[in-house]
Amino acid sequence: MAPVHLSGLLVLLAHQLVTALPAPNPTINQHPTETSYLGYNPTNVLDTADTHSIQFSYAPGQTNSPNDGASLNFIGLDNPQPIRGSKGGYDPGPRTEQYDVLNPDALAPPTTDHGSVDNAQWPLGLSHVKLGLGRAGWSRQQNEDQIPAATEMAGVDMRLEPGGYRELHWHKAAEWSLVLNGTVRVQAVNEEGQTFVDDLEAGDVWFFPPGVPHSLQALDQGVEFLLVFDDGSFSEDNTFLASEIFAYNPISVLAKDLQVPESAFKNIPAGQLFIFPGTPAPSNISEQNVTGSAGIVPFDSSYSYHFSKAPNTYTTPGGTVKIVDPTVFPIASGFSAALVTIKPGAMREIHWHTTSDEWNYFLAGSARIGIYAAEANSQTFDYHAGSTGYIQKGMTHYIENIGDDDVVFLEVLQADHFSDISLGQWLALTPSQIVMDTVNLTAETVSQFKKEKQYIVMGGPEP
User: For the chain, how far is it from start to end, CA to CA, in angstroms?
Assistant: 100
DSSP output for 217-242:
EEEEEEEEEEEEES-TT--TTS-EEH
Between CA 361 and CA 366 the distance in angstroms is 12
Provide φ and ψ at 289, rounded to 5°. -90, 75
411 part of the active site: yes
Among 170, 179, 182, 136, CA closest to 279: 136
Task: Please give the C-alpha separations between residue 148 and each of 116, 355, 398, 463, in angstroms, as whole numbers.
Answer: 14, 19, 21, 39
Name the 3-class secondary structure at 365: coil
Provide φ and ψ at 243, rounded to 5°. -60, -35
Cβ proximity of 155 and 359 under 8 Å: yes
Strand partners, 358: 391, 413
Cβ proximity of 167 and 241 under 8 Å: yes
* Catalytic hit among 97, 161, 411, 462: 411
Cβ proximity of 82 and 54 under 8 Å: no
Q: Which residues are catalytic?
A: 411
